[in-house]
Amino acid sequence: MRATDVAIVGGGIMGCAVAFQMTRLGFTDVVVLEKGKLAGGATGVCPGGIRQQFETEPDCMLARHSMVQFWNQVNEILEPEMPFIFERSGYLFLAESEDVLAQFRKNVATQNRVGIPSRILGPSEVRTIVPELLLEGVIGGAFCGEDGFLEDCHGVTNALATRARERGARVVYAEVRELRRSAGGWELVTADDSLQAKRVVLAAGADSVPLAAGAGVRLPIVAENRRLAYTAPYGPTVMQPLVIALERGFAGKQLRGGVFYFGWLQETGAADDLTFMEKGLEAGLSVWPGFEDLPVRRVSTGVYDQTPDHRPILGPAGADGLYLAVGFSGHGFMIAPAVAEMVAAQVLGLATTLPASDFTLGRFATMSGKEGLYI
CATH number attached to the domain at 2-65+152-221+308-365: 3.50.50.60
Contacts 24+ apart (CB under 8 A), 156-159: 156/13, 156/74, 156/78, 156/84, 156/333, 157/11, 157/12, 157/13, 157/16, 157/38, 157/39, 157/43, 158/16, 158/38, 158/39, 159/78, 159/79, 159/80
Q: How confident is the model at residue 369 (pLDDT cuts 50, 70, 90)?
A: low
45 CB-side CA count, 13 A: 18
Of 65-69, 127-131, 225-229, 243-247, where does mean pLDDT reach its minimum? 225-229
Q: Which fold has domain 88-145+223-305?
A: D-Amino Acid Oxidase; Chain A, domain 2 (3.30.9)
39 vs 22: CA distance, rounded Å: 19
The pTM of this model reads 0.95
Average pLDDT of the chain is: 95
Sorted by where each begins, the domain ranges of the chain are 2-65+152-221+308-365, 88-145+223-305
What are the tens digits of pLDDT across the range 27-48? 999 999 999 999 999 998 999 9
Per-residue pLDDT for 268 more than 80?
no
Per-residue pLDDT for 78 more than 90?
yes
- Per-residue confidence (pLDDT) for residue 277, from 0 to 100: 87
What are the tens digits of pLDDT across the range 197-242? 999 999 999 999 999 999 999 999 999 989 999 999 999 999 999 9
